[in-house]
Amino acid sequence: MLEMRGITKRYPGVLANDGIDLQVREGEIHALLGENGAGKSTLMNILYGLAVPDAGEILIDGKSVEIASPHDAIQRGISMVHQHFMLVPVLSVAENILLGEEPMAGPVFVDRAASHRRIRELGDRFGWQIDPDKPVGSLSVGWQQRVEILKALYRNARLLVLDEPTAVLTPQETTEIFGVLRKLRTEGYAIIFISHKLYEVLEVADTITVIRRGKVVGSRNPKETNEEDLAELMVGREVELTVDRGESKPEQPMLSVANLTVRDDRGNEVVHDVSFEVRAGEIFGIAGVAGNGQDELVEAITGLRHASSGTVRLGDRDVTHASPRELHRLGLAFVPGDRHRFGMVLSFPVTDNLVLNDYYHAPYASGLRRNDEAIAAYAKEAIEKYDVRTPSADVPAGTLSGGNQQKVVVAREFEGELKALVLDQPTRGLDVGSIEFIHRQAIARRDTGVATLLVSAELDEVLEMSDRIGVMFRGRLVAVLDGRTADKEDVGLLMATGGREGGVQPQTLEEAS
Amino acid sequence: MSERTGFAGWWDRARAVAMLPLISIVLALVFGAVLLIVSSPLINGWDPLLPFTAYRALAEGAFGSVNGLVNTLVNASPLVLAGLAVGIGFKGGLFNIGAQGQFLAGALCATIVAIALNSASPLVAIPLSILAGMVGGLAWGFIPGALKAFTGAHEVVTTIMLNFVAIQLVSWVISGALRGTGPAVTFARTDPIVAASLPIVVGRSGHLGLLLAALAVPIAWWLLFRSTTGFEIRTVGANPDAARYAGMHPRWITILTMSLCGLLAGLAGATEVLGEVRYMPASYGTTVGFDAIAVALLGRAHPVGILFAGLLFGAMQAGAGLMQSQAEVPVQMVGVLQAVILFFLAAEIIVRRTLRIRTAGTGVSSELQTVSRSYGEQASR
Amino acid sequence: MEAIYGIPIIGLIVQFVVYFVTELPGFSGTIVAAATPIALGSLCGFMNERSGVVNIGIEGMMLTAAFVAWWAASIAAQLLPNIDFGLLGITLPLLIGLLAAIAAAMLVSAVHAWLSISVRADQIISGTIINIFAVGITGYLNLLISQQSPPSAGRFEEWRLPDFISDLPVIGWLFDALLGVGPIGLTMLISVVVLQVLLFRSRWGLRTRAVGEHPKAAETVGIDVIRLRYRNVILGGAFAGLAGAYLTIEFGSAFQGEMTAGRGFIALAALIFGRWTPIGAFGAALLFTASTGLERSIRFAAPEGALGEFLTGIPLQFYSALPYLITIIVLAGVVGRSIAPAAVGRPYERESKAA
């Protein structure tokens, strides 16, 4: 019923979709598999009228259509369950479902009786006891998702797009949602199911299309494939080693994390009982699909988030509850993953960004007075040493290219007496030259005896850089592997499945070191 | 992008920053001219040349004589001080609508001390009264700062509310405990301030407060751009997350910033009541705190810009009297001009597009993005 | 009773309640009269903020409308026949004044909408501009016009309730206070009820709440966020228009510079205290003005005994400051936090338009 042809979408610096073709039939669950950032969401935003493609066309029932807004999409029977629910928390279940398509009693008022009846009827189809008057904000995430699905069905959708629907669900809720999807399939709905979880896709889909770096790299029938095959398609086979990381000479443990448990902003436990040690002079890489608790782990280690239990030690000091400034003073440097949010102040000149966390002490300040000469001298030196391409040290950092912005952050963090270094997605979205430069600097720092923790969703980067590799899955560290012998496919499978099948034996810390 | 260095580079930057305010002023004068022409039948019959007469009188009143010039400075100095109180808030990511209340709190505290020390030596009375004014303003700024930092109550609403509380507080103290008994007192006001009244340093009315305002500009500049505290204020204002990452304490900085704002507005109130009015009425009619918002916006929240903007508005207020007596144009015309200047500043994007200006996009409105956009999130923390 | 009076604090409270209830009918009329422009101003703010736009320019919109109502009515009185409709003092000039005030406030609102929604300027700045402009332009024109001493067009009259209602025991005074008001006051009462019902029962209300809370969710179900915001903000201006007109052609019959005297800001406070609902805002407005009413009552007829000493001991200004203090307390969440619509203050950017 749906066909997308040659969809191409370019964002500044990224080719998000590169000539994607996709066909979906009625009564089919079509899985769209790919890593985060592979271009799945962009494709679906185009289908739903939230983004305009640069090239390509969309056909529904064989007719070319233009979808310029969600309204158009809804009119054509396409509904989307977004990863971040599009629900208004303070409105009731009924109000959320009706919004935009209200049954009316007269010209002004919403027909509450009719709406309640219809919502109950819809719920009954799946055996859901739903209270239409409950505010959506008071529902659990699983129930909110059901409201989203009811919202789509209420709008007489024929094609349902679910963007990572299981990301926020418990295993039981996931099983239940799969039941709902199967029921919808038998009723003739077409379903696009976006995921990066292999076993889920294998369990529920009729057809699997794999996308990597904005391109369709293959289509599979779940009956004729397995997790290894899909993992390889999803992450790619080729590992391009561009940096010779040499031999590491690990010494005593420097950064030790023990039984760390962390909650996210909504209070969900997203890091469970994680323990590992990073030794002086080694790079410990953490691989994992984005959103498996890495962000919260890093924030807890670097003092930006409060750990609910467990300890973090730097050398022989307990720094579990240390502030970012204390940690910095003790020799823990941190290149944050979201450099625009945490790493720098875009409206400030490069100089100020280079001393963002050292501005308050000598030689950059004496008492209340900033010592601008010292800052400028240091900036000149750092810009040269870290090859920051900027017209001058005084231009706003926001005017620099992404690679040069990140070099500013790296210059700031890598300098000085360091014990440990936390690199969170240090090369995300950068050009090849900058990536290589930053990798070389990190290895040089390692070789001066710094314990380096590298967290990245780019598997290639972790494989290329790490002396040891830990894999995170659903908030747990499920395996620790030796970086010299780790196989990309094995790690990919661990990332995608958490080693559920037992295909790879997770090594213990002792074995891997 | 070619970057010139030295004086040429400085000139390029100054031009880029001042371009839009200047265009806004010109457009506002054009708007004012149209309004004057249209309303001229109500004044002295149809007169298409009224704008020229009016603007000439305005300029003459402000700059045409020594007294005019001094008047301009006298009017400008509280605007500059209160303008800094709003501008530093902008830099710290805070929209201080409470300069008015902080001004009143400062004036009140200065008056209380000044009346108490009315028979003391000026050498004691003046510094203590001014200090009291600064402390009063500081307290009135501290409250919304602390509320913002610890409860998330948005400073726009709390400062508006505190403005009105300040009015009532002044009325209570002045019409009650401090109500004057001397022969000069014909309505609810204090006795004249004697010992603590600021000495005249220039012309007929140029009091010491002018120097304080003039001094405040470089100090504020130094504080914002040359001190570590200013760096913290600006970082919290520009990116609170990065500030936290860099080891700063956004909550304390927020409180500090609001207190500092209050201190400056309080100083404005103190100098005004000690130097210009020389007594405190129970209902103190002033719009300095609100004009200060316009001054800070026109000055792009930069101390030097605020100085110029304050001088401009001060000149307009000083010249308004002559405009009214010579051209019979009501003084309120000045308020209209101020609002229209702001309008064109706010509609920056439209003005740029229409006039095809390409200058550095460092508008105040872009600095304000973190300010009123968080209005609805006040309770989410 | 004697026993209760014996306990100092409880006794005082009981005495206070008795005093308040006995005095209330006496000043209830002034309370409602004072609350009317505030409640109308709140309705303006309600229309704005519920759809996600901050409005601190209510004061300026009211002032503009107050001036225009008076001026237009005055001109109409000079040029047009003074047709009296024989109801609540409605005459042709006054009606024209009222309509002109509404139109003027809607025009100012349209500017606010344009700056806030299309230009995506800072909404607080936009409100500030409106306030400064209104003081300037009304002061300017008022001075010019009053030199020609134009005739006043008079004012609307209050509805005189039938005696059998006013004379009802116990609650008669209540009807008298609430309904014994002029056409604008009645419009306010009706609007409060109608908007309250519409907000929670109508399609418009549902969509408005959605747009004020989560505009993106609203857009994904096909609601035109921009258009709804424009419509609500401009319509909201009508209430600021009524509020202004109330001051110059219903409550009074003349204009003075800056005569709104902060009512627009109290309206904002009432809106917050009333948790962004029309009934709540109206209640808050009544509470706020009751505080001033109480002040007046204490000044003219202080209760006797300990309570009298206590109440006259409180500075009168405290009663005037009370609304603002309460608002700060409510906003800070010390007692029963008041939560703004989530998207207030943030301009909406359509994703599909950004290529």
Give per-residue pLDDT as tens, C266-288. 999 899 889 899 999 999 999 88
Q: Report the residue of C351, C352, C353 to disrupt the A interface, i.e. the one with the largest count of A CBs within 10 Å.
A: C352
The reply to whether A101 touches chain C by the CB within 8 Å rule is: yes
Q: Is A290 on the interface with C (CB under 8 A)?
A: no
Percent above pLDDT 90 for chain C: 52
For residue A161, give the DSSP letter: E
Grade residue A165 by pLDDT with cuts at 50, 70 and 90.
confident
Are B293 and B100 a contacting pair, CB within 8 Å? no
CB-CB contact of A198 with A188 (8 Å): no
Mutate to test the interface with A, among C194, C198, C221, C350 (most CBs of A within 10 A): C221
Task: Inform me whether the C-beta atom of residue C126 falls under 8 Å from chain B C-beta atoms.
Answer: yes
Spatial distance between the Cα atoms of C185 and C247, rounded to a whole number of angstroms: 11
A–B CB contacts, 8 A cutoff, strictly below:
66
- Whether chain C has a CB inside 8 Å of the CB on A137: the answer is no
Q: Would an 8 Å CB–CB cutoff place A374 in contact with chain B?
A: no
Q: Best-predicted range by mean pLDDT among A144-153, A426-435, B265-274?
A: B265-274
pLDDT band at A169 (very low <50, low <70, confident <90, very high): confident
**pLDDT value, residue C89:** 86
Interface of A with B in 283-342 (CB under 8 A): 304, 323-326, 328, 334, 336, 341-342
Q: Which pLDDT score is estimated for B358?
A: 57
Q: What is the pLDDT of residue C46?
A: 96
Name the pairing type of β-strands A55-60 and A2-11.
Answer: antiparallel
**Touching chains, A (3+ CB pairs < 8 A):** B, C
Give, for all 381 residues of chain B, the pLDDT tens digit.
445 666 777 787 777 778 888 999 999 999 999 999 999 988 888 889 999 999 999 999 999 999 999 999 999 999 999 999 999 999 998 989 999 999 999 999 999 999 999 999 999 999 999 999 999 999 999 999 999 999 888 888 899 999 999 999 999 999 988 898 888 788 899 999 999 999 999 888 899 999 999 999 999 999 999 999 999 999 999 999 999 999 999 999 999 999 999 999 999 999 999 999 999 999 888 889 889 999 998 998 999 999 999 999 999 999 999 999 999 999 999 999 999 999 998 887 777 777 766 554 444 444 444 444 455 443 332
DSSP code string of C259-290 = TTTTHHHHHHHHHHHTTT-HHHHHHHHHHHHH
* Mean pLDDT (whole number) for A428-450: 87
Q: What is the mean pLDDT of chain A?
A: 87
Contacts of C50 in chain A (CB under 8 A): none
Nearest to B231 by CA among B247, B214, B212: B247
- CB contacts of A323 in chain B (<8 Å) are 247
Beta-ladder partners of A334: A422
- pLDDT for C222: 85
Q: Which of C201, C209, C342 is opposite residue A109, by nearest beta carbon?
A: C201
**Nearest partner of B377 among C123, C209, C346, A137, judged by Cα:** C346
Q: Would you say residue A66 has pLDDT above 50?
A: yes
Q: Provide the pLDDT for residue C352.
A: 42
Q: Is the ipTM of this complex over 0.95?
A: no
Reported as a pLDDT band with limits 50, 70 and 90, residue A260 is: very high
Nearest CA distance, B122 vs chain C (angstrom): 33
Structural contact between residues B147 and B153, judged by C-beta atoms closer than 8 angstroms = yes
pLDDT tens-digit map of A316-350: 999 999 999 999 999 999 999 888 888 899 889 99
Token reading at B206:
């140029």
**What confidence category does residue A373 fall into, taking pLDDT thresholds of 50, 70 and 90?**
very high
Q: How many CB atoms lie within 10 A of CB C314?
A: 11
Q: Which of residues 147-166 of C touch B (CB under 8 A)?
A: 147-148
Q: Which residue of A68, A74, A100 is in closest CB contact with C352?
A: A68
Q: How long, in residues, is chain A?
A: 513
A304, A369, A399 ranked by CB distance to B245: nearest: A304
Given a contact cutoff of 8 angstroms between Cβ atoms, the answer to whether A2 and A58 are in contact is yes
C chain contacts of residue B293, beta-carbon cutoff 8 Å: 128
How distant is the Cα of A377 from the closest Cα of chain B, in angstroms?
16
What are the DSSP calls for A190-227, one per residue? Answer: EEEEEES-HHHHHHH-SEEEEEETTEEEEEE-GGG--H
Contact between B248 and B79 (Cβ < 8 Å): no
> What are the φ/ψ torsions at residue A205 (nearest 5 degrees)?
-85, 155
Taking one residue from A and the other from C, the number of pairs with CB-CB distance under 8 angstroms is: 83
Predicted TM-score of the model (pTM): 0.86
Chain-centroid distance of CA C51 in Å reads: 18
CB atoms < 10 A from the CB of A460, how many?
17
Residue A101 has pLDDT above 90, yes or no: no
Cα separation, A472 vs C326, in Å, equals: 50
pLDDT classification of C8: cutoffs 50, 70, 90: low
Give the gyration radius of chain B's Cα atoms.
21
Close Cβ partners of B314 (under 8 Å, ≥ 6 residues apart) = B62, B72, B73, B74, B75, B76, B77, B79, B80
According to the model, what pLDDT value does residue A36 have? 66
- What is the overall mean pLDDT for chain C? 88
Report pLDDT for A501.
47
Question: Chain B contact for C4, CB < 8 A?
Answer: no
Mean pLDDT of A395-419: 90
Distance from CA of B115 to the nearest CA of A (A): 36
Q: What is the mean pLDDT of residues C65-91?
A: 91
A346 touches chain C (CB under 8 A): no
* Structural contact between residues A513 and A252, judged by C-beta atoms closer than 8 angstroms: no
Q: Name the C residues in 285-324 with CB < 8 Å from any B CB.
A: 315-318, 320-321, 324
pLDDT recorded at residue C204: 96
How many angstroms from the chain centroid is the CA of residue A326? Answer: 29
Q: Strand pairing partners for A29?
A: A191
Residue among B115, B107, B82 at smallest CA distance from B97: B82
- How many whole angstroms separate alpha carbon C210 and alpha carbon A99? 8
pLDDT on residue C24: 80
Contact A51 C352 (CB under 8 A): yes
The C-alpha of A173 sits at a distance from chain B's nearest C-alpha, in angstroms, of 28
Asked if pLDDT for residue C353 goes beyond 70, the answer is no
3-state secondary structure of B290: helix
Which one of B226, B247, B367 has the shortest CB-CB distance to A323?
B247
pLDDT per residue as tens digits for the range A274-322: 999 999 999 999 998 777 889 999 999 999 999 999 999 999 999 999 9
Taking one residue from B and the other from C, the number of pairs with CB-CB distance under 8 angstroms is 180
Pair B73, B136: CB distance under 8 Å: no
| pLDDT at res. A407 | 93
Q: Which residues of B touch C271 (CB under 8 A)?
A: none
Minimal Cα–Cα distance from B229 to chain A, Å?
A: 7
Judged by CB atoms closer than 8 Å, whether chains meet at A70 and C220 is answered as yes
pLDDT, position B369: 43
Residue range A449-471: mean pLDDT, rounded: 90
Chain A residue numbers with beta carbons less than 8 Å from the beta carbon of B242 are 341-345, 356
Q: Which chains touch B (3 or more CB pairs under 8 A)?
A: A, C
Candidates C122, C320, C341; nearest CB to B376: C341
Mean pLDDT, residues A376-381: 94
B244 in reach of chain A (CB within 8 A): yes
pLDDT at position A330 is: 94
The percentage of chain A sitting over the pLDDT mark of 90, rounded to a whole number, equals 45
Per DSSP, the three-state class of C38 is: helix
Picking from B231, B239, B244, the nearest residue to A370 by CB comes out as B231
Question: C345 CB near a chain B CB, below 8 Å?
Answer: yes
| Interface contact flag, B245 A345, Cβ < 8 Å | no
Q: Is A15 helix (H, G, I), strand (E, B) or coil?
A: strand
Give C167's contacts (C-beta < 8 A, 6+ positions apart).
Answer: none
| Nearest residue, CB atoms, C132 vs list B154, B333, B339 | B339
Test B227 with A369 for CB contact under 8 angstroms.
yes
Q: Does B8 touch chain A (CB under 8 A)?
A: no
Residue C50, chain A, CB below 8 Å: the answer is: no
Question: Mapping DSSP to helix (H, G, I), strand (E, B) and coil, where does residue B46 land?
Answer: coil
Q: Which of A62-66, B59-63, C148-152 has the lowest mean pLDDT?
A: C148-152
- Residue pLDDT, tens place only, A200-248: 888 899 999 998 888 898 899 988 888 778 877 877 755 455 566 777 7
Given CB atoms, is B347 within the 8 Å cutoff of chain A? no
